Structure formats: structure tokens, C-alpha cells
Structure 1
Amino acid sequence: MIRIRRVTLPPDLAGQLRVRTDKLHGDKADCSAARAAWKSAKATRTQLTRHLTGMAAGIRRCMYCGDGLGTDIDHFEPLAEAPLRAFDWPNHLLACSYCNSHQKRELFPRDEDGRPLLVDPFTEDPCAHLELVLSTGIYEALTPRGDITIKVFGLNRADLARGRASAFIRTVCMLRDRARLLQFSGTEEAGEVAASLLDQPFADVLYAMLRYRDLPGAEQVLRGRDVVDALADPALHFGP
């Protein structure tokens, strides 16, 4: 899971969401009514999906696991708990069907004061709560919220851990290839490698590597000084 930057919606779409939200409030909609309104708003959902897709890491990747294709708009705070937030833009994330329907579902743990315990990648950096062990692809919790987030989203599923570990090896090799291309062959093919690095699944691997770059022991964790130096390339960094 990586930090995602939310864009400002165009005025016409933002207006549609306000109108629909006002109607839910006026009707004092419950979960059933909110679901019906959401299901009937096909054109609005299509527009929202387009904007969420543009914000997702890689090529339309799930904002939770980073692997599956983002096919669903997930309500971070579920409609069962917050029906009036059905059309609330800050409550929308792009998820794969597995994370949305089999992992998170309607789960939304809260602490004793009612504050959400799941990490929202739009409002905070997941790295404050989760640490990715690159060699194994396993997430370790840094906080109690991180532990709950790992469990609810199933971030350490065997297929995901294996995929991240493989992505780490692949990323190391691609970084070395890009460095050699920049040194001996010009920038065109090197640019293709950079684009491929940013488009591949498991963007959290590159994201974690960029964070490790400035930490003690980076050369050992990242498998060499050449990899550490390659990560300094601005072309490989995520957006602001």
C-alpha cells in the first residue's frame, strides 16, 4: 500500500456528487436507499472510475493490494456505517474485486473513541504504519493500526508476498539496466525502462525502495551501491 494523491474533480462532476449527497441527506437515507442510489448512478460511477484510475499506481492497480486490476469503487467507510457518504469523493478508492468483496467487505474497525483504525492511503502515508520487508514481500506492522490494516486487507496473502518478493528482484535488475543504458546507449530505451518500472504491479516495492535509499544499511538491503545510486533518478519517483 502506498500514499495516493487525490485529484480535484471537475466542477460538473463535483456538482453531481453534491446534488446526490444533498438528496440522501434530505431523504435521511439508510444503507438500503444509499445502495440503490449508488447502483442507479451509472454515469456518475463511470466518471469517478476514470478519475480514480488516473490516480492509481501502475496501470489501474488496486489501491489496497497493488496487484489486482482496479475494477471496483470501494467506499472506504462502508455504506452500512455511513450511507450518507455514498457520493462523498474523499470516501472513494479504487479496489480489485478480491480486496473489495472478499477481504474488506463491510469491515471498518474503530477504536474505543470511534476513530477509524484502517489506514487511508489518501489521507496519510501507509509507511507510517507498515514496513515492507523487500526480501520476503511481507508487511510488518509498525503500529496497532498497521496490524489491523494488514489483517483486514489481507496484505500478507501468500500470492501477494511472493509477488512483491519477485517484483523486488525484477526492480533491482531493471534499475541496473537503466543505469547502464543511461551511461552507454542514450536516454530513449532508458526512458522506456523507467516507464515500465512505474507501470508494473506492486508499486509499493519501488515506493519502499525509495524510502530505504537514505537509511543506514541501504546498500545491503537494496543489493548494492549501484541500486542505491540508481534510485536517486527523479524519473523513478512518484508524484508530489
Structure 2
Amino acid sequence: MIRLQRAALPADTAAQLEGFTRDIARTAESDRKDTAARLWSHSTVRRHVREGLLDALTDMAPGHQRCMYCGDGQGTDIDHFEPKSLAPLRTFDWLNHLLACSYCNSNQKRNRFPRADTDGSPLLLDPTLQDPLNHLRLVLPVCTYKSLTDQGAACLEVFGLNTRGVLVEGRRTAYGTAKQSVELWRIATDQGRHDKAAEVVRIAWNRPLADVLAAMFHQSGHPAADLLFDGEEETLGFLRDRALREAFLTAA
């Protein structure tokens, strides 16, 4: 997971969402769950509303339409961060919509929405509101995550970020290609091939599992970076280069 910026919706799509929310609010509280489910599955919503939502979410998503949870699978589903079965009034709330792959949405998350025992706040991370780097640390080079907070732990459990072997192996591959990217940027820049260097940056961020690249830059500035990158001193040197950091992080 990486930090994402929430996009603004087109005015007509936003107005449609508000109208459906009013329709749900006008029904009896006991009927709102069924009303929300019926409206969300209505053919008009599928044809007109969901298309606008998917377009906006796709523009926000990491890489080429990647899942906002695992960062690997293609984002095909509009996920309700707070499930509509638990919060029907948020069914058409733009701030409650994220892009997910079908596996994260239907196999992992489903209607699970853990809350803190202390204050009832959500334990899952919304990457448009919180920076996952403050809650999850990628252990390099094994590329499994360590939770730093209860929210990080909840995400690991709900989305299986460490137990889905394909994700862990994919992150290991992504780590190797990310190291190659920063080295290629250095070579291209030293040769004065600035268009080539810019292309390297663009491709690096558009690959699946861009969370690996984000974690590398984040950890390179950590006080314990020398330990975190033990045996990877050359990579750490690249990541600490001021010009390289500016080129990659301004494009993130």
C-alpha cells in the first residue's frame, strides 16, 4: 500500500451520488441496508454512476490501475472501505470508495471491517487518508511486512499481505527491478541522457507493487538505514543521492 491523493469527482457524478444518498436516508433505518444494496446494483447505477467512479479511481490508483490494497492485482472493483452492509448511508459516499482487485475485495476483505476496542475507530488503513509507511515496514530484502501499529497489523491479517506467497515473491522481484531502476537512472544522468532518466522514473512507478520502491526511499532516510540496507550499501548510496531522490519522489 502506498499513499494516494483523493481526486475530485466530476460535478454530475458527485450530484448523482448525493441524490442516491438522500434516497437511502429517506427510508426507515431498518430498511437502509436493503435499499442501499438495491440501488447499488440497479442498472442505472451500473451504467452511469459506476463508470464515473471507476474512471476517477483509476486515475488515483498506483501504477497502471493497480489495487489500492495489495498493489499487485488489476483494480477492477469499486470497494466500499466501510462495507455498505455495515454503513448503508456511505454506499454512495465518494470518500468511502477505493479501487481493489477482485481477490482483495471478494476473497480477503469481503465485509470485514475491524475496529479498535478502545474507541471504535477503523483498524484498516485508507491510503487516501493515511500514509501506510507509518504503519507498515517492509523488511528488505525478504520483502515481508512488519506491522508498526494495530492498523498495520489489521491490514496484514485482512489482506494477507504476508501470507499470499505470490505477493511476497512479487515484492522480491519488484525489489530487484527497483534497484536496477535507480542504477539505470544514475547511469543515464551521468551520460546526460535526461530523457532516458525520466523514462526510467516513469516506468519504475508504473510497475506493479510500487510500494516496494516507496518503502526503499522511506527507509533510506531512517536513522537505522545502514542496518536496514545491510549488504545493500551501493543501493543505499543511490537512494541517498539528492538529485535521484528529487527525480523519483516528485514523480511519485
Asked if TM exceeds 0.5, the reply is yes
CA shift, 1:219, in A, is: 5.3
Q: Separation in 2 of the partners of 1:85 and 1:95?
A: 17
For 1:46-57, what aligned pairs fall within 5 Å after superposition? 46-57=51-62
CA shift, 1:185, in A, is: 4.6
Q: Separation in 2 of the partners of 1:235 and 1:52?
A: 25
Distance 1:169 1:231, change over 3 A: farther
Tell me what 1:10 maps to: 10
For 1:1-240, what aligned pairs fall within 5 Å after superposition? 1-28=1-28, 29-40=31-42, 41-42=45-46, 43-112=48-117, 113-156=119-162, 157-218=164-225, 221=229, 223-224=233-234, 225-229=237-241, 232-237=244-249
Distance 1:109 1:238, change over 3 A: farther
Instruction: Judge conservation of contact 2:185–2:244 (CA < 8 Å) in 1.
Output: no
Q: Separation in 2 of the partners of 1:4 and 1:239?
A: 13
Aligned residue identity for 1:158: G
Distance 1:13 1:239, change over 3 A: farther
Q: Separation in 2 of the partners of 1:196 and 1:230?
A: 20
The alignment covers a number of residue pairs equal to 240
Percent sequence identity over matched residues?
A: 43
Q: Separation in 2 of the partners of 1:12 and 1:152?
A: 34
Structure 1 residue runs without a partner (length 5+):
none
Q: CA RMSD in A?
A: 1.8
Distance 1:96 1:230, change over 3 A: farther
Q: Which runs of 4+ in 1 moved over 6 A?
A: none
Q: Separation in 1 of the partners of 2:199 and 2:158?
A: 36
CA shift, 1:217, in A, is: 4.5
Aligned residue identity for 1:126: P
Deviation digits for residues 59-101 of structure 1 (CA, Å, limit 9, x no counterpart)? 0000000000000000000011001111000100000000000
CA shift, 1:228, in A, is: 2.9
Aligned residue identity for 1:30: R
CA shift, 1:135, in A, is: 0.6
Deviation digits for residues 21-41 of structure 1 (CA, Å, limit 9, x no counterpart)? 111111244322211211120
Q: Separation in 2 of the partners of 1:237 and 1:169?
A: 19
Q: Separation in 1 of the partners of 2:140 and 2:64?
A: 21
CA shift, 1:231, in A, is: 7.4
Q: Separation in 2 of the partners of 1:10 and 1:188?
A: 34
Q: Separation in 2 of the partners of 1:207 and 1:104?
A: 24
Structure 2 residue runs without a partner (length 5+):
none
Instruction: Judge conservation of contact 2:186–2:244 (CA < 8 Å) in 1.
Output: no
TM-score of the pair, normalised by structure 1: 0.94
